[in-house]
Structure formats: C-alpha cells, structure tokens
C-alpha cells in the first residue's frame, strides 16, 4: 500500500482532486462553489496530463545549445502544450459561468440553488 502510494502518488492526488471537484458540483448549493468545483475537476485533469509526461531525471523540453541530442532526457512537451490550451479553455468557461452567475444574482438576488428553486417555483 505504502509502496503503491509512493509510486503513484500523483495519480492518487489527481483522483482525489477529481472526486472533490465532482462532489462540490453535485453537493454544494452555492452556485459559485459549484463553479469552483468544475474548476477543480478540470485542474485535476491538467495535473494528470502533466504527471504522465514526467520523466524520471528528465529536464525541461528545451533544445540544449551544445548537448548531444540522444543523451538528453526531456519530459514530453506535447502534454504540456495541451494543458496550456486546456487552461485557456477552462478560463474562458469560468468567465462565462461567472457572468451567468452575476446575471442570476441580479435577477433573483440569491446564489444558492435551493433558494433559487423556491424563487422560480413561486413565479
């Protein structure tokens, strides 16, 4: 068990964050917290990509100016590029989500989903 954890702790961490994020989306009544949950969920996936690209003893994926190419160990650059793109997408989503929450707050005067449900049921 300890050995498993020490070998795969990044993956365990990812699953834990993923679970916390999903739980927040489902269980939290606060709309902003729900959105934070979505963000956590996405961040866990980014961490997953990064940790899978990690190479033991590898350096940053930058071309060395006088190194022998075959002897340089680098982390795979592809997942890192992917994660950069995915982060941008995530930020855009968060921005749109927060804008929607502001609109909902302006219209209904609440951030809580259960209150929102009651207010809407009354109308």
Partner 1 sequence: MSSVDLLLPLLIVAPILAATLPIALGLWFERTGWSVAGLTTLGLFGAAVSLASVVYSGGEEVSHKLGGYPRTYGIELVADEFSMLIVLLVTAVATGVLAYTRRGGPRGNTFYTAYLLLVGGLLGISLTGDVFNLFVFLEITSLATYALVASGDGPESAVAALKYLILGTIAASMYLIGVAFVFMATGTLNMLELADAIPAAESQTLIRTGFAFIVVGFAVKVAQWPLHTWQPSAYQQAPDGVTPLIAALVSTASAYAFGRLIVTVFEVEYLAGVSNAAAIVLTVGCVSVLAGTVLAVIQTEVKRMLAYSSVSQFGLVIAAYGVVVAGSSETALIGAAIHLVGHGLLKAGLFLGAALVAASYGARTVDEYAGLAKARPIVAGSMAVLLLSLVGVPPGVGFVGKWYIALGAVESQLWPVAAVIFLSTMLTLAYAARLLEKMYFTPPAAVESPHASGSVATDGGEVDAAAETDRADAVSIGMIAVVVVAALGAVALGFSGGAFADLLEPFLTEVFN
Residues that bind partner 1 (CB under 8 A): 18, 22, 25, 31, 34-35, 38, 41-42, 45, 48-49, 52, 76, 78-79, 82, 85-86, 89, 92-93, 96-97, 100-101, 103-104, 107-108, 116, 120
- Distance CA(43)–CA(54), nearest Å, equals 17
- Distance CA(38)–CA(21), nearest Å, equals 6
Which residue in the block uniquely carries the two structure tokens 């961040």? 43
If the CB atoms of residues 5 and 99 are measured against partner 1, the closer one turns out to be 99
Spatial CA neighbour of 38 closest among 23, 16, 59, 58:
23
Shortest Å, Cβ 42 to partner 1: 5
Shortest Å, Cβ 108 to partner 1: 6
């Amino acid at each position: 068990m300890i050995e498993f954890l020490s070998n795969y702790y990044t993956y365990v961490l990812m699953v834990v964050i993923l679970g916390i994020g999903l739980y927040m989306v489902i269980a939290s009544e606060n709309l902003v917290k729900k959105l934070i949950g979505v963000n956590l969920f996405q961040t866990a996936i980014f961490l997953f990509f990064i940790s899978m690209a990690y190479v033991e003893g590898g350096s940053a994926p930058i071309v060395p100016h006088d190194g022998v190419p075959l002897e340089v160990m680098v982390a795979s650059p592809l997942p890192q590029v992917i994660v950069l793109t995915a982060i941008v997408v995530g930020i855009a989503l968060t921005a749109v989500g927060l804008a929607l929450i502001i609109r909902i707050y302006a219209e209904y005067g609440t951030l809580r989903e259960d209150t929102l449900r009651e207010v809407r049921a009354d109308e």
